[in-house]
Structure 1
């Protein structure tokens, strides 16, 4: 497998996350008014952090990647423990469902109970966020050639905090798409949708099949709803002509900029490779060296 592309998955995710972090929740017009086109790592803004600072998207992806490398496979209980340790470090950014699920885990629920309990007690509109799809790409590197297992671990990784089928299948579809890109297939998203067709929720199918066919919807939403995030990020990640263009386009749409940027970045990184990400972005991110090393380690997981 091409190590430049596997590194691109993790580094692209981090670049999209860090580029989008200072403008999270801003509108496209607000970003344009302040920056013109935001294509440089800038400081402060949302969350008031220095340029190149990653958020919960990359931090949780690092939890998964470190666990995979150290455990030599996917251990959901170990991942959940790492999420809790990260939660206890008082991160400046954490999603509501993630926080609620990790509190349940700390109270004694098992990894497969906590997210389920939170989901069952959440109202529609507050039960299918993008907090698990943003962190799941490390799994696509380790299980790229074993699609049955990739679907299983992708869904389990989501279930820790996001048990809604739109989230669990969303993780599976994203990771199958990444695996297809790493294998250089011609229709990665279509192949992913076909593979999980029997159980995928209708909302995901309706949103993603046009993207798989190369079409652009009349509007692309940038909310934290997992279906919106996947549709927009896959549109930009699969349709742009360079890794940088994919990330810049996604972030400048506004809304949930760090997460949509992270997902688009992982997809674009798998398409174009880490070598095609701007050096000025990578040098601004403190975690670049670790992400590169982990991407290589994940290739050795059996």
Structure 2
């Protein structure tokens, strides 16, 4: 299998996992099972017209009104993939990290009028909104990020692992600098290193790689990056308790390999709750020692079957789009684009553009040949989803006699 096929697999796996999980984001595992059975395809999982027709009281009608304003269109990915594609576009244009370009793209997307959710961004969290608002006020790049250990840096970072798959020094600096735009907590950045390094390791490896060697080298990279951040980045937030929390968590994953899946998840949940100081935080929460650690463990435990791995991950519930994106890019980097189900890529809106921008990422030519920009593509996708929602909102209004 070629490196190019693995790189393309990482990009398409990220987008497919994101789109699959976007349909059920925020649902608990039991709610997914009770309402949808098991979500396996990128398609409409609910009969919206039936829900509208059966809504017969003020509570159910109000619920539908709120639901339809935020409903994801089947086949559309969220800001996880959008932010990753901005990094791809940066590398394709400049063959290097250009923080000014990335920051300006964040601002350009966010300022799109008429406002969609946050400009053109779909499903962003409050931390990203605050960070981009800081950038709009010309806050320096090393302090624009919020003090958050959320998974926002990790979810978008796969292109760095692809582009710098053969240069770990450049990869390390790129992950830190790009992550700092939105995250200043050392754990949020170190967790992004988990995804980027794993992608580069998988791209360079054979399918029968040693789990032990992988986790050992991953631990070393993340630990050294934590030390490097403390020594060289004064604006990063850390203390003695958080300094090596992420690298220590990788050691925990190694210890969990011999346990059954559900028991291992219980250990991850306990770690997430204790390190976040939130008793409700678990493996599907945005906190990195929840969802990023879970995605790493889940990938290793279920890596032999790309399709089943991604399906099982998103059906755990919670932050499903981001978990789907992270597990998807890892599985894609291991198995390559050819293993991603055709029914997913055919259902994925904008798939041809993703393939084009992904191909450029691994091209040695310094010219970016895409004729249509990412920004123009995202405007189209947002309009598609707005019209999709509007169709059902109009049906509901008719039902209400409005």
- Matched with 2:284 is 222
> How far 1:64 moved relative to its partner?
0.8
Q: Secondary structure at the match of 1:9?
A: helix
- Matched with 1:258 is 321
Native 8 Å contact 1:141 1:295 kept in 2: no
> Which of 196, 209, 214 is 2:222 aligned to?
196
| Equivalent pairs, count | 293
| Residues 159, 16 of structure 1: alpha-carbon distance in 2 compared, 3 angstrom cutoff | same
Give me the whole-angstrom Cα distance separating, in 2, the residues matched to 1:111 and 1:43: 40
> How far 1:110 moved relative to its partner?
2.4
Native 8 Å contact 2:191 2:246 kept in 1: yes
Matches within 5 A, 1:9-158: 9-43=10-44, 47-89=70-112, 90=119, 91-115=121-145, 118-119=146-147, 127-158=148-179
1:223-280 deviations in Å (ceiling 9; x for gaps): 0001211111112222212111111111000000000110000000011111101111
Native 8 Å contact 1:176 1:188 kept in 2: no
- Matched with 2:250 is 208
> How far 1:44 moved relative to its partner?
7.5
Q: Are positions 1:289 and 2:352 aligned together?
A: yes
User: What TM-score do the two structures reach when normalised by structure 1?
Assistant: 0.91
User: What TM-score do the two structures reach when normalised by structure 2?
Assistant: 0.69
1:125-170 deviations in Å (ceiling 9; x for gaps): xx21111110010111110000011011011111000111111111
Structure index of larger Rg: 2
Native 8 Å contact 2:17 2:327 kept in 1: yes
Give me the whole-angstrom Cα distance separating, in 2, the residues matched to 1:75 and 1:129: 23
- Matched with 1:268 is 331
Native 8 Å contact 2:13 2:329 kept in 1: yes
Give me the whole-angstrom Cα distance separating, in 2, the residues matched to 1:266 and 1:209: 22
Give me the whole-angstrom Cα distance separating, in 2, the residues matched to 1:189 and 1:296: 29
Q: Secondary structure at the match of 1:111?
A: coil
1:162-192 deviations in Å (ceiling 9; x for gaps): 1111111111222111111011053334312
> How far 1:78 moved relative to its partner?
0.8
Native 8 Å contact 1:134 1:259 kept in 2: yes
> How far 1:209 moved relative to its partner?
1.9
Greater CA drift, 33-42 or 54-63: 33-42
Give me the whole-angstrom Cα distance separating, in 2, the residues matched to 1:242 and 1:171: 24
Gaps of 5+ in 2: 47-66, 113-118, 227-242, 269-282, 367-402
- Matched with 1:122 is none
Give me the whole-angstrom Cα distance separating, in 2, the residues matched to 1:271 and 1:113: 35
